[in-house]
């Protein structure tokens, strides 16, 4: 009778035990070292995706491992529960967004529980509950009071059919993604958070985040987009009468300027167009130009000569033409630039087309000033043809021009950021209501904190377009808190990125009467290890960093960075299949027949496509529920951690999960092999065990789960081959502890089977005997001219001259040397001997 692990029975039983004993409840008062392990909380779409399983399996291994190594671990879970899909579902399925969301949460919670994650469920939260968003409203009011929130007119994408604002990615070819109606630009009064106030600090802070992937830091750096330069004014040459303000990061090249270019929607361009049909036509042309990446790349630099001229700041007799140009953007800098063709590629392309002067003003070091042809020179060098700047470096030249401009009053040094303030107004129902009341006489008035939370009304409808809050018969009508007259509530709700900007703080501390308790939060935060998808590299992580800074700025928290360690895991991928007709096929609709893949029902040949991210449209998805039902949670978790490095994509394969399932059973058989009477030490096995304990601990801390998995296999192989002994029994017991973070149900089952009374989840990580980490015999490579010719086995620490002697005597070395005497002998102790002839 074979010992076979019954996962369905064991999974449920141990999950019940952990639940009942509250094994993973984090104590705020423990004096153990603390460890906050967090994975990005999911949007409750209704089903857990295999990518979630990978994400949470990784975090769970770390959380369980840290518990075993004596940490008090906070490993919580919650729901990013506001957002559009709930409203879409409401429109399509006539179900209330709250009902839809809450039932999705219930489903997904059950799915997650089936995976046996070591989560403190007592801290579970959903951002759509007043108990959460009410506190968010309080934080919003704090920010308002601290001057971090303001209201501004801003252009939005307006869908006139759905009567709603669309995000940029919801506008496809200028049309609303749902209604298909042409999208209008509308000016709306919107709420903004002053993220730009922290722009420099957010940029500087990146330098200290050395446990973040460089990739993410670079992406944030580019997003913040700091540039340092000179903002200055060109004086008009009569009859023209307006100054043109431009921004340049290269004021040092000012003597190479040959034109000024303004954006098509620049006020001066508008003035010119007022009496000029040609200019009007050109501006229209600029606007209809595509905005996609490919179009922009190939778009020709086009300009329209306004006939106007301005004077060079250093020479009133030097006149520069003013062009309207399609490559100048109104919303960056001042919407106008000085064109220096020799040192900017776009300006050069433009100058060649309109036959403008190209004069080199920077000479590369050690190089005479060669004329510029098709390529602008943007490198460092000395300034030439630049009057008082001649001979200066680029850096000195910048400083000198800025100093002169400031001294003479026509310009000033200025730092510009690409980062914009964060517009948080959404004209939607399913979000956090913005706690402000608009009063005709008092203006926008903050809701008194005592009146929070402002709860979303339940009785709403989605049968007509527009925001249900706005058309609700009573909800928005309130008295002004300031003057008492009739007023209306703000009907916009907050961007859902606001909800995810502080949930990790609320996890640490959940008082009823305020957002969090500072002292408790500071015990847990910053989050030591945050794990999630790279798709959140910019927005979510930047907003959370801002929000934390805002709290610090307001004196509510004592730290600026919310996440010390960040890890971005790869996607789960799967082969794709297509029928002869070209339709995508699901994995369960195809089967292997000999060397080819065919359709299950018709037997028609299937084309196997590339391995791609799992997506519903390509049907290459597997459902975690099905897999768990078939193999149990542990086999799935094991597979998620095996083979591929966690930052890389993981190809899901049927044979891979089969292999994991086989190994789970192999471990289970092994756990039953403790022999009561076995005695004696097995030194090599002891060594292997202790090296494995040490190695796995390091691998898990480095999140190199694939390497930890490989070491488990090696140890299991070694234990299987070993003869019964006390050492072997010890190794089997230790193996259960080593796999406990990865396959916890199996480990608990084995632990109980071994007669242990406590939970393995509470057991300490096995201790390492440092004496056993080194082998007492080592294999030395014997090389001749760097080529391996033989190996010798010697005691660890054998002296150099002894190694040299033994290597020279090795049979294959003797044969290759053929009597020759080595000119030089390199000996690396415990490693190799290399003979040079």
Partner RNA sequence: GCGGACGUGGCGAAAUCGGUAGACGCAGCGGACUUAAAAUCCGCCUUCCCCUGGAAUUGCGGGUUCAAGUCCCGCCGUCCGCACCA
| Site residues (CB under 7 A) for RNA, limited to 316-375 | 326-330, 332-335, 337-338, 344, 346
Among 187, 380, 484, 713, binds RNA (CB under 7 A): 713
Among 27, 30, 222, 451, binds RNA (CB under 7 A): 222
Q: Interaction with RNA in 793-812: which residues (CB under 7 A)? A: 812
Between 179 and 791, name the residue whose CB sits nearer to RNA.
791
CB of 47 to RNA, least distance (A): 23
- Please identify which residue in the block is written with the tokens 């968003």: 133
Q: Interaction with RNA in 681-710: which residues (CB under 7 A)? A: 704, 706-707, 709-710
Cβ-Cβ contacts under 8 Å for 570 (sequence gap 6 or more): 644, 645, 646, 647, 648, 649, 650
Count CA atoms within 13 Å of residue 323 on its CB side: 24
Stretch of 396-404, 446-454, 555-563, 714-722 contacting RNA, by CB under 7 A: 714-722
Q: Interaction with RNA in 462-491: which residues (CB under 7 A)? A: none
663 touching RNA, by CB under 7 A: yes
CB of 647 to RNA, least distance (A): 8
CB of 423 to RNA, least distance (A): 16
Among 227, 280, 406, 630, binds RNA (CB under 7 A): 227
Q: Interaction with RNA in 534-593: which residues (CB under 7 A)? A: 534, 538
Sign of the alpha-carbon dihedral angle for 443, 446, 451, 456: positive
Q: Interaction with RNA in 716-735: which residues (CB under 7 A)? A: 717, 720-721
- Please identify which residue in the block is written with the tokens 């997904």: 108
CB of 526 to RNA, least distance (A): 24
CB of 48 to RNA, least distance (A): 22
Q: Which of 743, 734, 729, 564 is nearest to 637 (CA)?
A: 743
DSSP 660-677: HHHHHHHHHHHHTT--TT
Q: Which of 570, 592, 589, 565 is nearest to 579 (CA)?
A: 589
DSSP 119-146: --GGG-EETTSHHHHHHHHHHHHHHHHT
- Please identify which residue in the block is written with the tokens 């992406």: 219
653 touching RNA, by CB under 7 A: yes
Between 215 and 449, name the residue whose CB sits nearer to RNA.
215
- Please identify which residue in the block is written with the tokens 């009064």: 189
Sign of the alpha-carbon dihedral angle for 77, 78, 84, 88: positive
Show the CA angle centred on residue 774, arms to residues 769 and 778, nearest 5°: 160
Residue 454 and residue 433 in contact, taking contact as beta carbons nearer than 8 Å? yes
Separation CA 346–CA 323 (nearest Å): 14
Q: Binding pattern to RNA, positions 756-785, x when CB under 7 A?
A: ----------------------xx-x-x-x
608 touching RNA, by CB under 7 A: no
Helices then strands, each counted (H, E), the chain: 26, 40
Stretch of 108-116, 449-457, 624-632, 657-665 contacting RNA, by CB under 7 A: 657-665
- Cis status of the peptide bond prior to 526, with omega within 30 of 0: yes
Stretch of 32-40, 105-113, 212-220, 742-750 contacting RNA, by CB under 7 A: 212-220
Q: Interaction with RNA in 173-202: which residues (CB under 7 A)? A: none
Strands (E), 508-643: 529-533, 566-569, 572-574, 577-578, 584-585, 590-593, 596-599, 607-608, 612-613
Q: Binding pattern to RNA, positions 5-24, x when CB under 7 A?
A: --------------------
Q: Interaction with RNA in 128-147: which residues (CB under 7 A)? A: none
786 touching RNA, by CB under 7 A: yes
Q: Interaction with RNA in 619-648: which residues (CB under 7 A)? A: 642-645, 648
Separation CA 234–CA 246 (nearest Å): 8
171 touching RNA, by CB under 7 A: no
Separation CA 37–CA 19 (nearest Å): 19
Q: Interaction with RNA in 266-305: which residues (CB under 7 A)? A: 289, 293-294, 296-297, 299, 301
Between 505 and 712, name the residue whose CB sits nearer to RNA.
712
CB of 808 to RNA, least distance (A): 15
Between 45 and 345, name the residue whose CB sits nearer to RNA.
345
């Amino acid at each position: 009778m074979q010992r076979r692990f019954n996962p369905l029975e064991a999974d449920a039983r141990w999950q019940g035990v952990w639940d009942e004993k509250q094994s993973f409840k984090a104590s705020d008062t423990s004096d153990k070292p603390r460890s906050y392990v967090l994975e990005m909380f999911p949007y409750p779409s209704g089903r857990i995706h295999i990518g979630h399983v990978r994400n949470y399996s990784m975090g769970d291994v770390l959380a369980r491992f840290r518990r075993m190594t004596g940490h008090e671990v906070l490993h919580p879970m919650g729901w990013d529960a506001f957002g559009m899909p709930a409203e879409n579902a409401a429109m399509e399925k006539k179900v209330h967004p709250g009902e839809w969301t809450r039932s999705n949460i219930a489903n997904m919670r059950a799915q997650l529980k089936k995976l046996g994650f070591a989560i403190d469920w007592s801290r579970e939260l959903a951002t759509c509950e007043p108990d959460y968003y009410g506190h968010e409203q309080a934080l919003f009011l704090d920010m308002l009071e601290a001057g971090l929130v303001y209201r501004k007119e801003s252009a939005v994408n307006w869908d006139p059919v759905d009567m709603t604002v669309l995000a940029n990615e919801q506008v496809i070819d200028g049309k609303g993604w749902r209604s298909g109606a042409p999208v209008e630009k509308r000016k709306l009064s919107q709420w903004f958070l002053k993220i730009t106030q922290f722009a420099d600090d957010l940029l500087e802070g990146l330098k200290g985040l050395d446990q973040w992937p460089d990739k993410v830091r670079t992406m944030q750096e580019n997003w913040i987009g700091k540039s340092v330069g000179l903002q200055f004014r060109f004086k008009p040459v009569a009859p023209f009468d307006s100054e043109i303000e431009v921004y340049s990061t290269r004021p040092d090249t000012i003597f190479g300027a040959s034109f000024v270019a303004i954006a098509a929607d620049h006020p001066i361009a508008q003035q010119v167009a007022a009496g000029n049909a040609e200019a009007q036509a050109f501006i229209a042309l600029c606007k209809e130009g595509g905005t996609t990446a490919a179009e922009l790349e190939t778009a020709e630099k086009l300009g329209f000569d306004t006939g106007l001229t301005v004077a060079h700041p250093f020479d009133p007799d030097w006149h520069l033409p003013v062009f309207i140009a399609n490559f100048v953007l109104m919303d960056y800098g001042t919407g106008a630039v000085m064109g220096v063709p020799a040192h900017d590629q776009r300006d050069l392309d433009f100058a060649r087309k309109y036959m403008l002067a190209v004069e080199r003003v920077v000479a590369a070091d050690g190089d005479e000033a060669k004329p510029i042809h098709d390529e602008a020179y943007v490198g460092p060098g000395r300034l030439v043809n630049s009057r008082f700047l001649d001979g200066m470096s680029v850096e000195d030249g910048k400083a000198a021009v800025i100093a002169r401009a400031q001294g003479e009053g026509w310009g000033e040094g200025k730092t510009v950021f690409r980062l914009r303030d964060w517009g948080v107004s959404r004209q939607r129902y399913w979000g956090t209501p913005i706690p402000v009341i608009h009063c005709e006489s008092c203006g926008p008035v903050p809701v008194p904190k005592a009146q929070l939370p402002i709860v979303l009304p339940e009785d709403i409808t989605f049968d007509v377009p527009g925001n249900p809050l706005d058309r609700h018969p009573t909800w928005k009508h309130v008295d002004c808190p300031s003057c008492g007259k009739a007023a209306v509530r703000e009907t916009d709700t907050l961007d859902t990125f606001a909800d995810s900007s502080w949930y990790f703080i609320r996890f640490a501390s959940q008082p009823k009467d305020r957002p969090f308790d500072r002292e408790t939060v500071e015990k847990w935060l910053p989050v030591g290890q945050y794990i999630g998808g790279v798709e959140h590299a910019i927005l979510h992580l930047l907003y959370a960093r801002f929000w934390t800074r805002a709290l610090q700025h307001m004196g509510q928290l004592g730290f600026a960075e919310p996440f010390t360690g960040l890890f971005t895991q790869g996607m789960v991928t799967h082969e794709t299949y297509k029928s002869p007709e070209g339709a995508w096929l699901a994995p369960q609709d195809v089967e292997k027949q000999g060397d080819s893949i065919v359709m299950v029902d018709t037997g028609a040949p299937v084309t196997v496509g590339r391995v791609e991210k799992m997506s519903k449209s390509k049907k290459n998805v597997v459902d975690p529920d099905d897999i768990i039902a078939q193999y149990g949670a542990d086999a799935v978790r094991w597979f998620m951690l095996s083979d591929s490095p966690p930052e890389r994509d993981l190809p899901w394969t049927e044979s891979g999960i089969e292999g994991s399932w086989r190994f789970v059973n192999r471990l289970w058989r092994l756990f039953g092999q403790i022999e009561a009477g076995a005695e004696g030490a097995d030194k090599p096995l002891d060594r292997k065990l202790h090296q494995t304990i040490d190695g796995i601990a390091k691998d898990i801390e480095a999140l190199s789960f694939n390497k930890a998995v490989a070491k488990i296999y090696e140890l299991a192989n070694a234990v299987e081959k070993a003869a019964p002994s006390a050492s072997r029994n010890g190794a089997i017991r230790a193996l259960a502890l080593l796999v406990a973070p990865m396959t916890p149900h199996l480990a608990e089952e084995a632990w109980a089977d071994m007669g242990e009374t406590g939970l393995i989840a509470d057991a300490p990580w096995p201790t390492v005997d440092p004496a056993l980490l080194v082998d007492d015999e080592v294999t030395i490579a014997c090389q001749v001219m760097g080529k391996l010719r033989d190996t010798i086995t010697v005691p660890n620490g054998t002296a150099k001259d002894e190694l040299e002697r033994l290597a020279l005597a090795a049979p294959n070395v003797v044969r290759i040397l053929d009597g020759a005497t080595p000119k030089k002998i390199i000996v690396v102790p415990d490693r190799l001997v290399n003979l040079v002839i």
